[in-house]
Amino acid sequence: MTRILSVTSECVPLVKTGGLADVAGALPGALKPLGYDMRTLLPGYRSVMKALKKTRTVLDEDDLFGGPVRVLEAKVAGLSLYVLEAAHLFDRDGSPYLDAQGSDFPDNPERFAALSWIAMRIARDGAKGWAPDVVHAHDWQGGFAPYYMKKNGVDVPSVLTIHNIAFHGLAPADRLAGLRLDPADFVAEGFEYWGQIGALKAGLQFATALTTVSPTYARELTTPEFGMGLDGVLRARSGDLTGILNGIDLEIWDPRTDPEIVNYKTPRGKGRAKARLRKEFGLPDSDGPLVIVVSRLSHQKGLDLLLEALPAFIDRGGQLALLGSGDKALEGAFVKAAEQANVAVRIGYDEALSHRMMAGADAILVPSRFEPCGLTQLYGLRYGTVPVVAATGGLVDTVIPASPMAMRSGVATGLQVSPLTSHALATTLGHLVDLYHDVDAWAMLQSNAMRQSVGWEASAAEYASLYDRLTAANK
């Protein structure tokens, strides 16, 4: 059985701020039937430590970036975990990355360098008899793992997955020694990024293989528009870069068994869920489509464009229910927009409510300026909630747009907005209203959506194939 160490800063169901956690939580179970033993190395945040029951210590260090650490082996929710217990780094208020005031922890470089260092130690020394054949690191938080492995003579192949290249994990150059980095590698061909230390760049330069979470995003990352200053590195390593789509957990997201909703097997069963959702949000009955947004409120997500396009959509009889939080100006603008009868807004995040929204809505809107993969459009497909998406990243790879040919051929599953402007978005939402009132066309879109394969089977097989190539090349 091939052994994989997954190095991640978050993992469902223990800690989550975004889609990385869903991937890290789902991939081990998807790989297990294929004969892969994936174990997850995770920081010992307070929430993680509270979830641990029976543990054993498999590794320790007297002083790692300012204090003693232990690595605890445990099982939680079917996951095989190695938890980095380091009170000086992780036992604190706030989120995984931000303090209670919403600012980055000043020692974030050390916190996640520690995670990467321990990944190297497990690969080099083993964990009480278990050692990986491949180390799979995620995003900048695991970016130093391939570097530490190479510098410490660890002959184990490594993978770095880019979930969102917008976050680089930067640190000032005066922390080189403290982060156990070789000054000789503080160059453009190493981890130097515009005079700073780049954890993500270290991973891109030193990992054996690179992946990202959709084929289109993999191509986009090699361009200046999407590469966030790292496009040159990725063009140089394009032969080592693979795009593998994310999947979703088909047991958690299942309209036939979801405990949060009025369950249904076909789009016809959405009616009662829609009526309940309107009541929950205080929306009036309407003959038009009910569109939802479940999102972080940020420039990336393109929701400022929705504010401009919204009046025309409401004038056509549409309704909007939004759940999200983030940028305070956007929060305030949507609260203001909700003063009209057919717009309702909840600021914050509520997992159970997101399920009820997915079940009761007619369509889900994802107008992102860039989107590595996206998960909400996959939930929409699963629930027969027609996705309306920007033509970027994984949204392109997962939604078949309702072009005239796709509609005639009977294969369309949603709508795409291109170019991404407020005018184009308003036009697409107008097209959505027209399709909604065409009973046969709308039924086809919903049925096609619910038939799509959105689970982990195909993606897990692609990861397995990558691991096999790496281990075969390392023999």
Q: Give pLDDT tens digits for 332-349.
A: 999 999 999 999 999 998
In whole angstroms, give the CA distance from residue 380 to residue 377: 5
Q: Would the CA dihedral through 13, 14, 17, 21 be positive or negative?
A: negative
**Average pLDDT value for residue range 318-326:** 96
Residue 4 near residue 31 (C-beta atoms within 8 A): yes
Instruction: Provide the pLDDT for residue 237.
Output: 97
pLDDT band at 102 (very low <50, low <70, confident <90, very high): confident
Residue 309 near residue 281 (C-beta atoms within 8 A): no
**Strands laid side by side in the 415-417 sheet:** 343-347, 319-326, 290-297, 363-366, 386-390, 415-417
Instruction: Provide the pLDDT for residue 238.
Output: 97
Q: Are strands 192-193 and 196-198 parallel, antiparallel or unpaired?
A: antiparallel
Tell me the H-state helices in 131-269.
144-151, 199-206, 215-220, 231-236
In whole angstroms, give the CA distance from residue 66 to residue 354: 41
Tens digit of pLDDT for each residue in 183-231? Answer: 999 999 999 999 999 999 999 999 999 999 999 999 999 999 999 999 9
Q: Residue 139: which residues within 8 A CB-CB, separation 6 or more?
A: 8, 9, 20, 161, 162, 163, 164, 167, 169, 200
16 in a known ligand binding site: yes
**Average pLDDT value for residue range 86-90:** 98
Instruction: Provide the pLDDT for residue 379.
Output: 97
What's the pTM? 0.94
- The two structure tokens encoding residue 384: 């027969």
Instruction: Provide the pLDDT for residue 475.
Output: 80
Residue 167 near residue 203 (C-beta atoms within 8 A): no
Instruction: Provide the pLDDT for residue 243.
Output: 98
pLDDT band at 20 (very low <50, low <70, confident <90, very high): very high
Instruction: Provide the pLDDT for residue 100.
Output: 87
pLDDT band at 18 (very low <50, low <70, confident <90, very high): confident
In whole angstroms, give the CA distance from residue 125 to residue 152: 11
Q: Which domains does the chain have, with CATH numbers?
A: 2-247+456-473 (3.40.50.2000), 267-451 (3.40.50.2000)
